[in-house]
Structures are given as C-alpha cells and as structure tokens.
Chains A and B, each alone.
Chain A
Amino acid sequence: MSPVPKRQVRLGAHFPGVNNTTVWADPRSGSHIDFASFVHLAQTAERAKFDFLFLAEGLRLREKKGLIHDLDVVGRPDTLTVLAGLAAVTERLGLIGTISATYNEPYEVARQFASLDQLSGGRAGWNVVTSSDAFTGENFRRGGYLPYDRRYDRATEFLAIARELWNSWPADAIPADAASGRFLAGEDAGRFAHRGEFFDVEGRFSVPRTPQVEPVILQAGDSQAGRDFGARHGDGIFTLPRPIEEARAFYREVKGRLAAHGRHEDDLLLLPAATFVIGDTHAEAEERAAEIRTQQVSGATAIQLLEAVWNRDLTAYDPDGPLPDIEPLDDGTAIQQGQARRFEDRQEKIREWRARAEAGSLSIRDIAIEDAAWQTFVGTPAEIAEEIDLRVQTRADDGFILVPHITPAGLDEFADRVVPELQERGSFRREYEGTTLRDHLGLPPAGTRRPAVPVPTGVPA
C-alpha cells in the first residue's frame, strides 16, 4: 500500500496589528510603519516558504471615551500600496490584503487587485470584509450605512462584479501586431455591464487579464452569513483559533456546505489566526508565554479592557485590586469605537469574571490577562510542529495565519525552528513549486472546478 500523501499545512504571516497582542514596549520592537519592517517580515516569510503575507485593515483610529486610543500600536500603511511595494522585494510570497467592500466601489477595488496581481506576477489575494459602523464611515464620502444582514448581500454583488471585470479581457486580447497595426484583437476588450440591486455600472475595464485572472478570495467572519458567503464564493476563511474538537466541528460544518455548491473540500481553506511562543523546553516556553502576557496587558490596558465590558469609566480602579462592584452601563452607547466587541452579553461576562476572580483571588489585571492574551501554540519547536501537523492532518484546520507579537523580527524564530520541523514531517513545502498564490494554496485555476466529493469525517490514524 503506497503511503497517502500528507495534507499540506498552509501558512500565512500576519503583520502585527494595532491591538494589545502586539508588544511595542519590548526593546526589540521596531517601527510599525517604516517600509523596512514590512520588508523584513515578508522576506522572512518567503525564506521560510510561507504561502502568503497578510495585512489587516482599520480605516479609523480607535477611540475610547471619545479620545484616540493611545495604549496600543497606532498607525498603519495603506494596505494595497504597501503590498505593491513588497511585490518588488519578494518573488514568490503571496500578498493578501484586507479591503472593506463598504468604503469602496467595485470598479476601483477590481482595478486595484488586478493591478496588484499583475505587478506581483500572480500573487494577490483579497480578504473581503464588510463594515457597517458609522464611526468609520465618517472618514468617507460614501460612508453609507447598511443594516447588518444586508452587508453580505452587497458584498456578494460587489464580488460578482469584480469577477466579471477580472474576466472581461480574453486571454489573447492583445496581439500588438505592429505590421497590421492591430493592437487589440477585438473592439470589446474589457467591456462589461451590470445592473443589480446595489450597483449599476458599465463600460470597459482598464486592466488586461492578469496571471491569476482572479486574486485569491478570503472571507473573514464566523457568522452564518459569513460562512455561507465563504462556502459559495471564497477560497478561504480567516477565522478564530478554536480548541481542536471545536475546530473539527467547524471544519465539518463549513466544508459540509461545499458540496451543495459543487465545490471540492480543498477549494475552501480554513485558516485561523494563531499566535506562538517558542522555548527550548516546554517549561521555558510557558515561562516566556507568561512574560509576554504581562507585556501584552499593562495595568492601563487591563482597565480599558474592563471598560469595554462595563461600558463606563473605570480609571479610578486599581488594576491590581479586585473587580469593580458597580453595575455596567447598558444604555445603547459605546465607550469604545472602531473595535469589534469580544463578548455577547456584558452581564453574563461580568458574572463569569466575578466567579473566576473569587475562586482564584484574581485581580483586575489577572482577569484581563486571562481574557485578552491569546496564545495558540506554546512549546518547543517540535511540540508546536506536532500540534500544527495533528490539527491539519485530522481536519481541524488547513493551516494558520501566524501573528507574531513583535515587529519586525517576531516571525524569525518560527521560520528558523518550527518550519524545518514541519518540513521533516512532510507537511510543508521545502521549495515553492508554483509561481502564483493559487499554486501555493493548491487552489484550482480561477473559474475551474474540481469534482465535489463528500468531506471525510473520520480522523486518519
């Protein structure tokens, strides 16, 4: 019996974000805005044969109590412009940018991603997000508000138009035949017309067919609408890390939707964000992890994390003291803006925290550290590789988008120590085999389909 080829781990490198996961107070922490920092992370990821670099998006500086939030990293570049620059200093690495469909029009976004795909030789990817907050909308002439449940309807039509545009130039549209004077093969290169519920656009698209034709499409968001959007239209879902059993259930649920759309299990990749702390021994890794958690949640950050839940000013409280005994404010106002809520019901969250604080005599900061510092993989390089491999082979995830906590060198150790372990296990490439991001991710060429097969539910031995 010939050995079954191992499922391949997909790896992305997330540029550290503007949130408290990123430790800026560490002496090793460099610039978050200089191009050199982006070059370092991208070239490290490429050296380690990662599938792609990933950039998040935030279009308005976060505010707390009406003031610009100053405790975390603030400031980031424009996503597509920095990715285009990185295309010049890398050769194979995929370049995935998060772009909101809300504060853009389909023509502009299609044009920009086609340009990035062309300028990178087929390495572009788009993490499609939708927004509805009026707060961010204040930065835009078309900061239109949409009810939550209509956001994916608009995004679906938006993406459909983008795909029409990307496919509007035939492959052989430009003979550029000097002798006959025929530059274009036909008069209609790029022509499109779309009339739908949200958009009414027509004309000729200005970017000729690009190497991937369509960039890789990720979707971020775990809601039912988000899952459905991903299952129908996405090449991947950027999701939250889950304990392995929950992740397997999520995998079965989401991938189970694919057959109904005539899609193969591997046409949609599940890629959770993940952090990591590496040590020479497991104990050392745990020790480093505890240290990092403390760096990630200062006393002031702990108070602010609590304020998001209580929805009121708690600056008078001592972070090393007990949880506030006052009740939260639930009057529809929001003390913090520009940041996703991390809980569903503030009353329930507070009850849970009070119980935990009482049981373990925990301070405000202890509780905040437990709650906010998320560390997905903690261990030796071999332990981390083993865990990643187990999760991918047993269909809990397809890979991970790794979030270092230090800029720009936070990925170096993973690249140097964990990746070789994955390669030893036969679960990760030693060399790039293709040139495009689609090639790296094992995705079929745009517009083609593999036969749908039922998603295996059993765990291979």
Chain B
Amino acid sequence: MTDHPLHLAVALSDVGWHPAAWREDPDGARRLGDPEHWAAQVRLAEEGLLDLVTIEDGLGLQTDGYGPQTPRTDRVRGRVDAVLLASRIAPLTSRIGIVPTVVTAHTEPFHVATALQTLDFVSTGRAGVRLTAGPSAADARLVGVRTFPDFTPDRLDDPEIVAFVEDLFAEAGEHAEVLRRLWDSWEDGAEIRDVPTGRFIDRDRLHYADFRGRFFSVKGPSIVPRSPQGQPPVAILAHGPLPYRLGAQVGDVLFVTPHGDDDLVRILSEVRAAEEEVRRPAPPQLVLGDLVVVLDDDPSAARGRLDRLDALSGEAYASDARIFAGSPAELADLIEAWHRAGYAGVRLRPAATAVDLPQIVHGVVPELQRRGLFRTAYEADTLRGHLGLDRPLSRYARTPDLVEAP
C-alpha cells in the first residue's frame, strides 16, 4: 500500500453511461424498475470490495445533456427515485456504501435530511448522498414553484445565466448546511428511557438547527435520531470553481473529471486552493477522478466495442469525463498514475453495466490488488469507515471536558 489508500467507486446509470448501451442489453433496459436487477449489480460491486456505488437520478426524465427534453425515442427513458431505490437494495447488501443522487433546487432539505438518515438506518451505516444543484428549466416546470431560465451551454457566459448559476450553487450550499445541522440535531445517546422520571429522551441533547439563509429557513430538530454514521458522506460532482467551492464548504467526497496529464494536477490544486479559501475545517476532501470505461481483456476489442456503440448511437459518445477503452490492466495503470498524482481514487462509469461492471470486479480489482494498491477484504462496516472518515461527534455535543467539569 502507498501512503494513502485507494478508493474505488462505480457510478450506476440506467444500463450504462453510453447512450447506446441498451441496444446490447435490451433485457436490462426493460428491467430498470426491477429492484432485483439493481441489487444484482450492487452485490457484484460489493464482491469487488468497492467503497461505494452512486445511483444517477434527476427530478425529470433523462435528457441528452442540459438542453430541453428532446422527442427522440432511441434513448433510455424512465427511472425510479434513487433514494427509494437505494433503500430497496440496502437490505439485500451488507458492506458497500450506497450513494443516491439528490437534486437540491426543488427538494425540501428537511425531507432529504430525514430520508438520508433513514437510509443510513436501513443500511446500518452505508448511506451517502451526491448532491446536484439541478439547473434545468424543464425540471423547474415539473414542480411549478419557480421559473428557471433556459440553461444551455452556449449561454454559460450570459450574465443572467452566470448570476442564476451562482445563486443555484449558493442554494445547494445552504441545502447541504441544513442537512448537516439536522443530522447533528440529536446528540448520540439522546434517547435515555429514564423510567423513574418518565422521560424517553433527554431534551437537552436535542437541538434546533435554527437555519436562516437567503433561500430558506429550517427550524429542526430532525424527526430522526442521530443515524449510525452521524453524518452520511456528502459527494459533489465538480467541473469548475463554483462546485469546487461548494465541495470545499460542504463535501466529503469530490468527483472530478480530468482528461489528461496537464489537467490532472491543475484540478487537484484548484480543489485544494478552494479548500484553503473557504478555510475548510474538516479533513481535505477525498478526490475521485471520474472515468467512463469500456473494458475488454483485448484492448483492441474494447476500442472496437466503443466504436460499435458509437455507430449504434449515430454519433461518437461525448462525456464530461474521459472515456477510457482498453484492458483492465491498462485501466489499472491509469488508476495507479492518478493515485500517485494525489487522487484518492476513481469513480468508474461503466459504458455498459452488464459488460463493464464484471470487468471492473473480476479484472481491474484483482489487478490493483496484485499491485498492493487495493484492499483484499472490507476493513469497516460503514461507508465512512471505508472512506477512512471518523464518526464525528454532533456539532452540538458538549465536549467531554465540559461534561466532566465539576
């Protein structure tokens, strides 16, 4: 092992990240609402001793990028709520972290906080959440409470859009702050069941979140007692300064998208600079590089499969993340290089889950283990444990010194 342990995550999305993946897995595509289909994938990831799986989601129907909903009929459409899916598969797995995606723009922080705490109870300490701001104007119309400007990549420099996006990230920051306060609002041990006085709880160990922000106010405490992990890890996918800042303020895990050697180092230094800028009190974020992966023992066959999927799709797949097509050993080389460059690990996005997830578990993981880079058994029972994060005391807890003071 090197001085910092390697962390591996897999991002589950539909039947894979390549838009034509379903063409080679139509049965899987018909089973997107079948929990057993998902449970089998998560169990396989658990067999590979991965830290966590993320589950993609959004409020609305899947889209192609940020544009408006297109009327095309050749792409996978339709999915279930990721938090509920995570809870549905949690009892069917035992060690791996489960990290659903939650949109902050339209959800109630109170509902999200209690849902994640409940997922933490159902999974006995394996819950996390990936927060995403949710700028889509189409999503805003689904909810009907606010009107968002049409947000397309060509308008990114438009002052109206710049201000809108800044606000949206500020709102995401408030949302995450409310989650964290509510998660701490019951101290550990608040349930005392003191029969002589008839008190079920020690109300002095329950605390109001009393959050008042620009976008909302939330009173608290949570309706859910402090969950097994206390603070389920929060992850952010980040492509630039605004989300780097958000991650530095509220995140535990940051997914980033380096493409080559030059931005590999630059991104990491920008992330660390953002952490310094916000005077992050917590340990530095675990930074995982995202990669779309197309794997085959024969590297040319992997590249051939990507070409085939692109041909089925009618266009070359473009992703925010680097697309890797090659052998598990070649991917292990790349992961090793990123790890050496200071990354905590990678989040792999299987191009086609049915093919590439088994390749990760049976090919990439054993290769990394042979190199002494990756765990050969789970060493913890919780997601925080896998990530090497301590279970924090509630921010409202009296310090042991004060408790012991005469």
Residue A141 is within 8 A (CB to CB) of chain B in the complex: yes
Residue A200 is within 8 A (CB to CB) of chain B in the complex: yes
Number of A residues whose C-beta is below 8 Å from B? 77
CB-based contact B77/A184 at 8 Å: yes
Known contacts A25-B193, A204-B60; is A74 also within 8 Å of B201 by CB?
yes
Known contacts A81-B115, A118-B80, A205-B61; is A105 also within 8 Å of B144 by CB?
yes
Q: CB-nearest residue of chain A relative to B103? A: A108
CB-based contact A174/B30 at 8 Å: yes
Residue in A25, A58, A112, A182 whose beta carbon sits within 8 Å of that of B84 in the complex: A112
Of B89-97, B363-371, B388-396, the segment with at least 4 beta carbons within 8 Å of chain A is B89-97
Residue B206 is within 8 A (CB to CB) of chain A in the complex: yes
Residue A420 is within 8 A (CB to CB) of chain B in the complex: no
Interface residues of B in 155-194 (CB under 8 A from A): 186, 191, 193
Q: Tell me the complex Cα distance, A219–B76, Å.
A: 36
CB-based contact A206/B59 at 8 Å: yes
Number of B residues whose C-beta is below 8 Å from A? 78
| A96 CB → nearest B CB, Å | 15
Interface residues of B in 9-29 (CB under 8 A from A): 22-24, 26, 29
A–B pairs, 11, beta carbons within 8 Å: A73-B200, A75-B225, A78-B118, A111-B59, A115-B81, A115-B85, A116-B84, A139-B220, A182-B74, A204-B69, A205-B61
Residues of A within 8 A of B199 (CB): 70-71
With contacts A77-B117, A103-B108, A174-B30 known, what are 7 further pairs, Cβ within 8 A? A68-B201, A77-B118, A81-B87, A104-B108, A174-B78, A183-B22, A207-B80
Q: CB-nearest residue of chain A relative to B79? A: A206
CB-based contact A185/B142 at 8 Å: no
| A136 CB → nearest B CB, Å | 9
CB-based contact B88/A88 at 8 Å: yes
Interface residues of A in 126-183 (CB under 8 A from B): 138-142, 169, 173-174, 176-178, 181-183
Residue in A118, A139, A189, A200 whose beta carbon sits within 8 Å of that of B218 in the complex: A139
Residues of A within 8 A of B121 (CB): 33-35, 77, 82
CB-based contact A115/B84 at 8 Å: yes
Residue A355 is within 8 A (CB to CB) of chain B in the complex: no
CB-based contact A87/B35 at 8 Å: yes
Residue A76 is within 8 A (CB to CB) of chain B in the complex: yes
Residue in B59, B71, B83 whose beta carbon sits within 8 Å of that of A81 in the complex: B83
| A61 CB → nearest B CB, Å | 6
Interface residues of A in 206-233 (CB under 8 A from B): 206-208, 210
CB-based contact B118/A107 at 8 Å: no
Residues of B within 8 A of A454 (CB): none
Counting from the closest, the 9 A-B pairs by CB-CB distance are A141-B216, A85-B122, A201-B144, A187-B71, A81-B118, A138-B219, A115-B80, A115-B81, A84-B87
Known contacts A33-B121, A119-B33; is A206 also within 8 Å of B73 by CB?
no
Interface residues of B (CB under 8 A from A): 22-24, 26, 29-30, 33, 35, 58-62, 69, 71-81, 83-85, 87-92, 106-111, 114-115, 117-119, 121-122, 124, 138-139, 141-145, 186, 191, 193, 195, 197-203, 206, 215-221, 223-225, 312
Residues of B within 8 A of A77 (CB): 114, 117-118, 121, 224
Q: Tell me the complex Cα distance, A61–B199, Å.
A: 15
Interface residues of A (CB under 8 A from B): 24-25, 33-35, 39, 58-61, 67-68, 70-78, 80-82, 84-85, 87-89, 103-105, 107-108, 111-112, 114-116, 118-119, 138-142, 169, 173-174, 176-178, 181-190, 199-208, 210, 298-301
Known contacts A81-B118, A299-B198; is A88 also within 8 Å of B35 by CB?
yes
CB-based contact B200/A203 at 8 Å: no
Q: Tell me the complex Cα distance, A203–B138, Å.
A: 7
Q: Tell me the complex Cα distance, A169–B108, Å.
A: 27
Q: Tell me the complex Cα distance, A375–B144, Å.
A: 45
CB-based contact A61/B206 at 8 Å: yes
Q: Tell me the complex Cα distance, A68–B89, Å.
A: 35
Residue in A70, A119, A140, A183 whose beta carbon sits within 8 Å of that of B29 in the complex: A183
Residues of A within 8 A of B122 (CB): 35, 81-82, 85
Known contacts A35-B122, A67-B203, A183-B74; is A61 also within 8 Å of B221 by CB?
yes
